[in-house]
Amino acid sequence: MTPRRRRLILVVGILAGVSIATALALRAFQENVMFFFNPSQVAAGEAPTDARFRLGGMVAKGSVQRTPGSLEVRFVVTDFKRDVPVVYSGVLPDLFREGQGVVAHGRLNADGVFVADEVLAKHDENYMPPEVANAIKDQHGGRMPAASAGAAEASEATPTPTMGGQ
Amino acid sequence: MAWTWFHRLASPPHVYRLAERLTPWFAWSSALLILAGLYGGLVLAPPDYQQGEGFRIIYVHAPSAWMSLMVYTVMAVAAAVGLIWRMKVAHAVAASCAPVGASFTLAALVTGSLWGRPMWGTYWEWDPRLTSELILLFLYLGYMGLRSATEDVQRADRASAVLAVVGVVNVPIIHYSVLWWNSLHQAPSVMKLDKPSMPLDMLVPLLLMLLGFTLYFVAILLMRLRGEVLSRERNASWVKEALSR
């Protein structure tokens, strides 16, 4: 075996070893790497009940209720399989709207309502000019902008990569 | 023979002259592409239906982020070639890549953070994508620190090359982080097998910027490589000839 061949095997070996170690470590810490839990995971009891965690999903259509005279807002976060009601007081980001993704940080109370102290908007990967979005919206009878319609179909069909399946 | 061009790349004077000849071509074409991409992206492309004008930061953010991964891959391959074939020029390439890659990574992190504040509602979250990209910055900085901590060039080459090769496992993690884990960062719009989630008038400037950034990287790499080769070969006779011209 030439020294060059030995060095080649050494480098490939180091790379393979480090890759396997990293893959195992990431698998072991799977839950800690997850940025948020989706409503199905919350329903399955995977989210902590006595600690703060992040809840992610779509804001359900027609679920946003504002309390007049205060910053309090109530809405439902859904992954199209399970729903979690959320209550939040504070300023919402610009991209917060029904049918869009959000990530809320807080804890579940005794009634199963998620009390959030921070709400972030999660943008999807679709980009389009306003005219196109309006045209697609018109075709759908003014119900749904295209991006969230596409995302909704995807979420119903499969554990969608956009909102992070499993 | 077929491998002659490869063996000639091991010769520092050959590489020095080749880099000198190629630099202006890459530099000028990258300048033209970036100007065209900026005009297309900042002026011609329509605003996004949700993000409005703010989406235009993608024309700097996404190419910077792609380059941060591409430069690291080039650096790791060069380092591996240097380790296996004991090729000094390959180590010089790897050493020249690091500061450029670190700058692209920093640019991606800063532009992403500025975009995140109005769109997500936060400058920074410990999200898998954001965290793995930050680790990439530390890999670059660690590589540079390790090199400058060792006086002997050959030892610096070998030690830093091992770090570069080991760190390459982070590259697929960064790319797939948004698909493997629940993440705040959106999934890829362009770098996927599906068709891009973007109309052509937004996409074309983005691809021009990506190509422009790539050629810019090659131009800077060639310039840095010449400096690196000169400093390594400072006692060789061809350097005196090259510099007295």
Model confidence over B138-189: pLDDT tens digits?
Answer: 999 999 999 999 889 999 999 999 999 999 999 999 998 888 887 888 888 8
Q: Quick one: angle between helices B153-167 and B128-149, nearest 10? A: 170
Whether residue A4 and residue B84 make contact (CB cut-off 8 A), yes or no, is yes
**Count of the separate structural domains present in chain B:** 1
| Domain annotation covers residue B79 | yes
Average model confidence (pLDDT) across chain B: 91
Contact (Cβ atoms closer than 8 angstroms) between residue B40 and residue B56: no
Which residues span the domain enclosing B167? 25-44+56-244
Select from A7, A29, A32, A35 the residue whose CB has the most chain B CBs within 10 Å, as the one to mutate to test that interface: A35
What does the buried/exposed string (b/e) look like for A39-78 if buried means 16 or more CB atoms within 10 Å of the residue's CB?
bbbbbeeebeeeeebbbbbbbbeebbeeeeeeeebebbbb
**Count of the separate structural domains present in chain A:** 2
Model confidence over B29-81: pLDDT tens digits?
Answer: 999 999 999 999 999 888 888 888 888 999 999 999 999 999 999 999 999 99
Whether residue A130 and residue B199 make contact (CB cut-off 8 A), yes or no, is no
Same domain, A93 and A42: yes
Contact (Cβ atoms closer than 8 angstroms) between residue A155 and residue A124: no
Select from A125, A155, A158 the residue whose CB has the most chain B CBs within 10 Å, as the one to mutate to test that interface: A125
- pLDDT (tens digit, 0 to 9) for every residue of chain A, 166 residues total? 688 888 888 889 989 988 998 888 888 877 777 788 888 888 888 888 888 888 988 898 888 888 888 888 999 998 888 889 999 988 888 788 888 888 999 888 888 899 988 888 888 778 887 777 777 767 665 544 444 433 433 333 333 334 433 3
| Domain annotation covers residue A162 | no
| Domain annotation covers residue A116 | yes
| Domain annotation covers residue B119 | yes
Same domain, A52 and A76: yes
Which residues span the domain enclosing A22? 3-32
Same domain, A68 and A115: yes
How distant, in Å, are the alpha carbons of A106, A135, B39 from that of A89? 12, 35, 42
Structure tokens at B154: 């050959």
Contact (Cβ atoms closer than 8 angstroms) between residue A129 and residue A156: no
Neighbours of B59 (CB within 10 A): 23
Which one, of B151, B60, B142, lies nearest residue B108 by Cα? B60
Same domain, A54 and A103: yes
Same domain, A80 and A42: yes
Better-scored residue on pLDDT, B189 or B97: B97
How distant, in Å, are the alpha carbons of A52, B102, B169, B177, B185 from that of B115? 26, 20, 27, 19, 11
Nearest chain A Cα distance for residue B236, angstroms: 26
Report how far Cα B92 is from the mean position of its chain's Cα atoms.
Answer: 15
| Domain annotation covers residue B124 | yes
E strands present in B48-114:
none
How distant, in Å, are the alpha carbons of B95, B114, B232, B233, B243 from that of B236? 20, 48, 9, 5, 11
C-alpha to C-alpha distance for A144 and A58, rounded to whole angstroms: 13
| Domain annotation covers residue A144 | yes
Ramachandran area for residue A112 (φ above 0: left; ψ -120 to 50: alpha; else beta): left
E strands present in chain A:
53-59, 65-66, 72-78, 83-89, 101-108, 114-122
C-alpha to C-alpha distance for B211 and B213, rounded to whole angstroms: 5
- Within an 8 Å CB–CB cutoff, is residue B168 touching chain A? yes
Same domain, A110 and A142: yes
Confidence (pLDDT) at B64: 96
Same domain, A40 and A93: yes
ipTM: 0.71
C-alpha to C-alpha distance for A100 and B85, rounded to whole angstroms: 53
Model confidence over B180-231: pLDDT tens digits?
Answer: 887 888 888 887 777 788 888 889 999 999 999 999 999 999 999 999 999 9
| Domain annotation covers residue A166 | no
Closest chain A residue to B168 measured between Cα atoms? A15
C-alpha to C-alpha distance for A100 and A149, rounded to whole angstroms: 10
Same domain, A13 and A41: no
SS3 content of chain A, % helix, strand, coil (to 5): 35, 25, 40
Assign B236 a pLDDT band (cuts: 50, 70, 90).
Answer: confident
Same domain, A27 and A80: no
Please state the pTM of the whole predicted model.
Answer: 0.85
Closest chain B residue to A36 measured between Cα atoms? B182
Same domain, A59 and A9: no
Assign B1 a pLDDT band (cuts: 50, 70, 90).
Answer: low
| Domain annotation covers residue B3 | no
Confidence (pLDDT) at B33: 96
Confidence (pLDDT) at A162: 41
Q: What is the CATH number of the domain that holds A125?
A: 2.40.50.140
Assign B137 a pLDDT band (cuts: 50, 70, 90).
Answer: very high
Contact (Cβ atoms closer than 8 angstroms) between residue A127 and residue B189: yes
Same domain, A83 and A50: yes
Contact (Cβ atoms closer than 8 angstroms) between residue A65 and residue A74: yes
| Domain annotation covers residue A164 | no
The residues near B166 (Cβ < 8 Å, ≥ 6 apart) are: A14, A15, A18
Confidence (pLDDT) at B94: 96
- Tell me whether residue B160 is exposed, middle or buried, using C-beta atoms within 10 angstroms of its C-beta: 0 to 12, 13 to 18, 19 or more: buried
Confidence (pLDDT) at A141: 54
- Within an 8 Å CB–CB cutoff, is residue B123 touching chain A? no
Same domain, A112 and A64: yes
C-alpha to C-alpha distance for B122 and A84, rounded to whole angstroms: 23
